[in-house]
Amino acid sequence: MNKFKKVRKVMLYPPSKSAHSSYGSLFSNPPKGYEIITVDQERKFMFYLKRLKFIKNLYFIFKKFIKKDIYNKLMFSPSNSGADIIFSRGVLYPGKKPWILDIIDAPQSLAGYDHKIFINNLKEIDLALSKKNCKAISCANETVLKVMQKYFSKKVIDKITLIKTGLEISQINKVSKINNSVNFLFVGSVLNPDDFLLKGGIEALEVFKKLNKKHSNLKFVIRCKVSKKIKKKYSGKNIKFIEQTLSPKTLRSLYNDAHILLMPGHTYFLMGTLEAMSFGIPIVALDTYAAKDYIQNEKSGFLIKPSNKIPYNSTDYPTNVRSKKFVKAIKNIDPRVIYDLSNKVEKLINNPRLRNKMANKSREIIIRDFSIKQRNEKLKKLLDGIF
């Protein structure tokens, strides 16, 4: 019997060294018997055109009026660099190799996060996913799985399995946070100021502003790109804005020092939520898309009923969150939401025991449901079943 089993190569597609952070641990900790690879792919001309500001609008117009399979072939070449199987990150793979589709947020990623294009091309997308070389579809949470079941045929649905994101075990630290101050944390992109709005940055600042008048021991760190107008309006001695990229060590320190993650986002944000939970930080968030898949209300944090003034019930949610209509609605702050958020945050301020209880529950959830071990066991089972 051969002691040395073949290590099979799984290529991340589209190949990129800047893939979503949820894929990072796949490279350093792949399932046993598998190697995750990527290459610097030669992109077609459209990929470069969309990066140019003066032609970006033309790019989006072009994308809306072409079929998805043509769009994929223009954007990505199906190079596979000797891989045994392709692991596609939310896009259709146009090659002939066996492949797995992975969806971490919404199936509309298959149409460039445009719901209208997704619906118009649903038959073609279903046909592509029904093909024999599409071996499986993995979904990162129950919400994505349910949305897939809503839109696709039984043949496609039968390929779906739930594989939750895995977090590096080294990030799970039990930290003593006995301190006179209560530290709030908000984390978003340091490159895109829209991220601040979508993650509920204005609501977070309004809550802090309200509670800071009642409690003298509060501090708020916001690591995110924030507009000058907002910084000027909310600046104060207890608020610190960090807009530069931080080293992993410095970012860990922010998490270690935080008592409460205030992230009333208008759609879900995978890694920010999981990383905070891994450091034992109770999260106060809005009960929006997929939030329940990560935060257990009243146990690991608080989920607040979102505003009825924002179009969460629109058929194109959550892909509509960057639309002018949605962003305009976000800026119209709902006093009821601020009141409810403030009420739950104040419970955590006044009750250190409750904070610790929720901190322990957060770590428990991460270790049980979102470890590298559980992710690899399920992914290995999926891959082994294909080979």
| 312 and 197 housed in the same domain | yes
| 130 and 233 housed in the same domain | no
| Structural domain includes residue 3 | no
Tell me what pLDDT residue 137 has. 99
Domains held by the chain: number: 2
Tell me what pLDDT residue 42 has. 44
Residues near 377 by Cβ (< 8 Å), separated by ≥ 6? 31
Q: Which amino acid makes up residue 212?
A: N
What are 179's two structure tokens?
A: 């301190």
Tell me what pLDDT residue 14 has. 86
Paired strand residues for 239? 220
Alpha-carbon span 156 to 86, nearest angstrom: 18
Residues near 340 by Cβ (< 8 Å), separated by ≥ 6? 304, 305
| Structural domain includes residue 85 | yes
Tell me what pLDDT residue 56 has. 46
Handedness of CA 194, 196, 197, 202 (dihedral sign): negative
What tens-digit pLDDT sequence spans the chain (387 residues)? 455 578 999 999 987 655 667 788 898 899 999 999 986 544 444 444 444 544 445 555 555 555 544 545 545 555 666 899 999 999 999 999 999 999 999 999 999 999 999 999 999 999 999 999 999 999 999 999 999 999 999 999 999 999 999 987 545 454 455 568 999 999 998 888 789 999 999 999 999 999 999 999 999 999 999 999 999 999 888 999 999 999 988 998 899 999 999 999 998 778 889 999 999 999 999 999 999 999 999 999 999 999 999 999 999 999 999 999 999 999 999 999 999 999 999 999 999 999 999 999 999 999 999 999 999 999 999 999 999
| Structural domain includes residue 2 | no
| 24 and 158 housed in the same domain | yes
User: CB atoms < 10 A from the CB of 89, how many?
Assistant: 19
| Structural domain includes residue 119 | yes
Q: Are 230 and 196 in contact (CB under 8 A)?
A: yes
Handedness of CA 81, 86, 92, 93 (dihedral sign): positive
- Tell me the chain's radius of gyration from C-alpha atoms: 22
Tell me what pLDDT residue 15 has. 76
| 160 and 141 housed in the same domain | yes
| 219 and 100 housed in the same domain | no
| Structural domain includes residue 328 | yes
| 214 and 120 housed in the same domain | no
| Structural domain includes residue 41 | yes
| 108 and 17 housed in the same domain | yes
| Structural domain includes residue 307 | yes
The whole domain housing 216 covers 170-369
| 226 and 237 housed in the same domain | yes
| 361 and 375 housed in the same domain | no
Alpha-carbon span 156 to 101, nearest angstrom: 11
**How does 20-51 read in b/e, with b if 16+ C-beta sit within 10 Å?**
eebbebbeebbbeebebbbbebebeebeeebe
| 52 and 200 housed in the same domain | no
| 232 and 316 housed in the same domain | yes
| CA trace torsion 365, 369, 373, 374 (10° rounding) | 170
CATH number of domain containing 208: 3.40.50.2000
Tell me what pLDDT residue 53 has. 47
CATH number of domain containing 81: 3.40.50
Q: pTM, whole model, 2 decimals?
A: 0.86
| Structural domain includes residue 1 | no
Tell me what pLDDT residue 237 has. 86
| 318 and 356 housed in the same domain | yes
